[in-house]
Structure 1
């Protein structure tokens, strides 16, 4: 029997939901066990669960970083797995481990996400500055990442994930290093991304983040429990 989450109403017409059907992932042990969930566009979805519950693995499969052992992950009929482990252009991640380049500045770390999509360097830098400003760190643009605090790096990672205006935004613990004020800023920006019609999924341990979302999917031992 498939373990399916109740994600509420279907997304609005014209907006493609991200659908995962009967996802199982085995890597030495079963990390996900026959999980079926739908992440609708235009809604902010929380994905919660204890450490080891499968949240990051599910997000990685949803975004095309990992191939499921069995099952499908599709957006508008397109398989999220491309065969390379690289996400599709319409997918952006905010990684729990930040994934920033230490020797680059904060602005450069954000700008490269746009340059990789063919945006001219000057335009990419301008957009990067605006993205940093969204998270209250425009003044840190010239600072190298290795000089930043954990909370500052987390906000740079958010700026990089948000700057591309992706159709699918997957954020893994994007507020774990933040105080209450900055957490509220990140949540407001996540909601802005959903409001423009993106699929937005937030993996979190934080009950306050869960409460701020429209939908809640809970995992435990690789299965949906809520």
Structure 2
């Protein structure tokens, strides 16, 4: 699980997060909601090890999420709003590189990448360069890259913002499968339909948690 205790974060003298105490549990899908600027993205970045909290602690199974580099641990996968895809690579290569970085052979990595793209109905885009893809296509490739590694922790920042209702449902089903397999899954979203599909919901405003609410189950 991920534990955030007394977490605060400041950037350029501005308080972005303050007094956040929160636990993300394995086997559950947790929603973070809030308006733009509420701190959702920063909270995910701290939880994923991209940012070091200014105060407080963020740990994954007792070990700090921040490792001093700004890179996530191998057991953490992220879907970022900026997608983070490599422009000079194809869609397939952007997905398979996540597996190759974890020691998977190139042939197996490409095969699994194709399967991940197919699960999101973009198998036909495997050979396309990133710069040729639409916003929704980029988002699905980024999601495939995060899902293909079956990480212990999956943090997704507005993963359905560019998708239609049918594709949104497919993405949420795939995220649910990861949680059911025992992963920590956290979804930041302003979409009430996405929030409703999660097991727990925490709302943020001005860098703080507001009336955290858990559902039974």
Which residue of 1 is the match for residue 10 of structure 2?
Answer: 26
| Alignment map for 1:118-157 (pairs within 5 Å) | 118-157=103-142
Distance 1:223 1:143 in 2: 41
Q: TM-score, normalised by structure 2?
A: 0.95
Alignment pair present for 1:158 and 2:143: yes
Distance 1:190 1:117 in 2: 21
Distance 2:57 2:121 in 1: 38
Distance 1:194 1:52 in 2: 27
| Alignment map for 1:108-123 (pairs within 5 Å) | 108-123=93-108
Distance 2:101 2:61 in 1: 24
1:145-173 CA distance string (max 9 Å, x none): 11111101100000001111100000000
SS at match of 1:189: helix
SS at match of 1:32: strand
Which residue of 2 is the match for residue 225 of structure 1?
Answer: 210
Superposed displacement of residue 103, structure 1:
2.0
Distance 1:45 1:195 in 2: 13
Which residue of 2 is the match for residue 194 of structure 1?
Answer: 179
Which residue of 1 is the match for residue 64 of structure 2?
Answer: 79
Which residue of 1 is the match for residue 37 of structure 2?
Answer: 52
2:92 to 107, 112, 118: 107
1:141-200 CA distance string (max 9 Å, x none): 111111111101100000001111100000000000000010001000010010000000
Superposed displacement of residue 119, structure 1:
1.1
Q: TM-score, normalised by structure 1?
A: 0.92
Aligned length: 210
Alignment pair present for 1:63 and 2:48: yes
Which residue of 2 is the match for residue 13 of structure 1?
Answer: none
Superposed displacement of residue 133, structure 1:
1.0
SS at match of 2:71: coil
SS at match of 1:98: coil
RMSD (CA atoms): 0.7
SS at match of 2:44: helix
Distance 2:87 2:168 in 1: 24
Distance 1:121 1:72 in 2: 37
Q: Kindly report structure 1 stretches of 4+ aligned residues shifted beyond 6 Å.
A: none
Point out where structure 1 has 5 or more consecutive residues left out of the alignment: 1-16
Distance 1:187 1:119 in 2: 26
Which residue of 1 is the match for residue 214 of structure 2?
Answer: none
